[in-house]
Structure 1
Amino acid sequence: MQPFYLQYEDEQIEVTGHFPGLGEPLPSFMLVDDHNNDVSLESFQDRPKALLTLLSLDENEHGGLALLQDTRRRLEKAPAVQLIVVTVDSPSSLRRARREHGLPGVALLSTLRGRDFHKHYGVLLSAYPLAGYTAPALILADVQGRVVFAERLLRSDARFDSAALGAALAALAG
């Protein structure tokens, strides 16, 4: 497997784990929501899913809130898609982010009790200064949980490929 790195300011940080590819099933997970409830991938089984991993909702320009807002705008054309946001933020931080930014219809999940998520989804940042964080990535899956779009960002201040994401969303809708 080819190493993957995230550019964060002046640092190149290795990202480890298996990043799901096109056609692969999403790995099962058990994470914690903003009300301290355990939530599994199977909770979203009847809908297409957009799984967005972020560094933190407390971060704005580097793989955080700005990336979430940009991704939400792009997903507005596909209201059937459930947006699932995963970060290392605590459930109380997720609650505060929901209170401050609204985020209706967005599932906010923490890796607090689901540390295997990082490796199973290929988003584990493995070196200083962000060791243990989740790298910014977006995975779009159909109702059956098969990946139709997958992108990890090369830079923490980048955005996802809008043309490829648009094509994947159109294929889901069609």
Structure 2
Amino acid sequence: MATTKLKGNVVNLSGAELNVGAVAPVVKVVAQDLSEVEVGGQKGKAQIIVVVPSLDTPVCAAETRKFNEEAAKIENAEVTVVSMDLPFAMGRFCTTEGIENLTVASDFRNKAFSKFYGVLIADGPLAGVTCRAVFVVNASGVITYKEICPEITEEPNYEGALAAAKDATSTSCCGTCQ
């Protein structure tokens, strides 16, 4: 079972443990307008899937703002921030923060994304929400970068994720060769 930490205390994660080289499962999450959005799978462009516990925390808000700013700079890529927030709260956050270059989505209905991607916190004070993670999926639907942040209260490795996203925008390789 995968783990992360919350303020230094180990918390377990539940669900499938996906790694680099695996095909990213196609999962439906809920957009701020209550429509369904698909993440994962083969889309013909790179995907940056940013996972946060809640947009209503300073670290998650800062992370979302940073990816919103940087997303506009990467051609042939889409960014989706997945949390357990209700769509109404996500909409309010995006309006207040001026988030326009990425999609926010919620896994609140059935937690399918969290289970398929192995990012559901299984115990501790945040049990039932997502940990902090970043997945980059290439145009062929293969995971080329994965970071489960070792400490939930700290931001991810932006440089690593963004570099992987730029590499993943290439459509010349299916991602399975080395």
If the length of structure 2 is used for normalisation, what is the TM-score? 0.84
Q: Deviations over 1:33-91 (max 9, x none)?
A: 00011222379823210001101000112xx1112223344545423210001000001
Identity of aligned residues (%): 20
Q: How does 1:49-60 map onto structure 2 within 5 Å?
A: 49-60=47-58
Aligned length: 170
Q: Would you say the 8 A contact 2:24–2:40 is kept in 1?
A: no
Range with greater deviation from structure 2 (85-94 or 13-22) = 13-22
Q: Which residue of 2 aligns with 1:92?
A: 88
| Aligned-pair CA distance for 1:145 | 1.3
RMSD: 2.2
Q: Deviations over 1:112-167 (max 9, x none)?
A: 22312211101010112001000110000111211111110010232333453354
| Cα distance, 1:38–1:171 mapped onto 2, change above 3 Å | closer
Q: Which residue of 2 aligns with 1:13?
A: 11
Q: How does 1:33-44 map onto structure 2 within 5 Å?
A: 33-41=31-39
Q: Matched residues in 2 for 1:116 and 1:136: separation? A: 16
Q: Which amino acid aligns with 1:53?
A: V
Q: Which amino acid aligns with 1:32?
A: V
Q: Which amino acid aligns with 1:135?
A: C
Residue 159, structure 1, aligned to residue 134, structure 2 = no
Q: Matched residues in 2 for 1:111 and 1:136: separation? A: 14
TM superposition outliers: structure 1 runs of 4+ over 6 Å: none
| Cα distance, 1:38–1:166 mapped onto 2, change above 3 Å | closer
Q: Would you say the 8 A contact 2:51–2:81 is kept in 1?
A: yes
SS state at 1:149 partner: strand
| Cα distance, 1:44–1:109 mapped onto 2, change above 3 Å | farther
Which 5+ residue runs of structure 2 have no aligned equivalent? 171-178
Residue 104, structure 1, aligned to residue 100, structure 2 = yes
Which 5+ residue runs of structure 1 have no aligned equivalent? none
Q: Would you say the 8 A contact 2:80–2:102 is kept in 1?
A: yes
